[in-house]
């Protein structure tokens, strides 16, 4: 965890332009929803005062493009970061600082009998991320690679919404 804390400190220090001469203002960080647990903790450990906005990466790009002020943008995927760069929203060269791993989440007790990315999903109430957001793009790519056709009942704009729906049993 200490290494990640130092990484976040370096990321924030190199990616930000202080809004005052003393640099005492909090850093405004727009970050992928998947980072909402770890970023505040790392910021606290590094002693960096920050205001966070967590959402789906593509939605954050839209907000920044619409004029929302952000000192740091942390995307969940390269495609979304590339879009931010193409729109001229990024001042410095983006730096990879972490990677994502897809996971399959089931409701408590696994009532659908899901065993993996296989035919056990055929009759499950499947909730996924929408294809245009990072977690959805990765899901589509993996399903294609595995030769699995997914039939979701819901497509969400961020990974935390998927987890929330599954955990609540609303799927």
Q: Where are the chain's structural domains? A: 2-86, 119-168
Per-residue model confidence (pLDDT) at position 23: 57
Q: What is the pLDDT of residues 42-100, one digit of tens each?
A: 999 999 999 999 998 999 999 999 999 999 999 988 999 999 999 999 988 999 988 88
Q: How would DSSP label each residue in the chain?
A: -HHHHHHHHHHHHHH---SSSS--SPEEEEEEGGGTTHHHHHHHHHT--EEEEEE-HHHHHHHHHTT---SEEE-SSHHHHHHHHHTT--SS---------------TT-TT---SSSGGGTTS-EEEE-TTSHHHHHHHHHHHHHT----EEEEESSHHHHHHHHHHT--
Give the architecture-level CATH label for domain 2-86: 3-Layer(aba) Sandwich (3.40)
> Is the per-residue pLDDT at 25 higher than 90?
no
Q: Tell the residue number behind the tokens 């294609």, with chain if given.
A: 144
Nearest to 73 by CA among 17, 146, 139, 15: 15
> Is the per-residue pLDDT at 21 higher than 90?
no
Q: pTM of this prediction?
A: 0.69
Nearest-angstrom CA–CA distance, 163 and 166: 5
pLDDT cut 90: percent of the chain above it: 61
Considering only residues 99 and 15, tell me which one the structure prediction assigns the higher pLDDT.
99
């Amino acid at each position: 965890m200490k290494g990640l804390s130092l990484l976040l400190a370096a990321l924030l220090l190199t990616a930000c332009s202080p809004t005052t001469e003393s640099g005492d203002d909090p850093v405004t960080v727009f970050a992928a929803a998947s980072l909402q647990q770890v970023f505040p903790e790392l910021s606290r450990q590094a002693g960096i005062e920050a205001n966070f906005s967590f959402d789906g990466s593509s939605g954050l790009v839209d907000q920044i493009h619409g004029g929302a002020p952000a000192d740091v943008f942390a995307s969940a995927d390269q495609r979304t970061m590339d879009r931010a760069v193409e729109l001229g929203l990024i001042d410095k060269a983006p730096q990879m600082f972490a990677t994502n791993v897809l996971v399959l989440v089931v409701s408590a007790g696994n009532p659908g009998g899901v065993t993996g990315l296989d035919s056990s999903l055929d009759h499950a109430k499947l909730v996924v991320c929408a294809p245009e957001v990072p977690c959805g793009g990765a899901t589509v790519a993996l399903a294609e690679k595995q030769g699995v056709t997914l039939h979701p009942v819901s497509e969400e704009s961020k990974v935390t919404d998927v987890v929330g729906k599954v955990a609540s049993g609303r799927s």
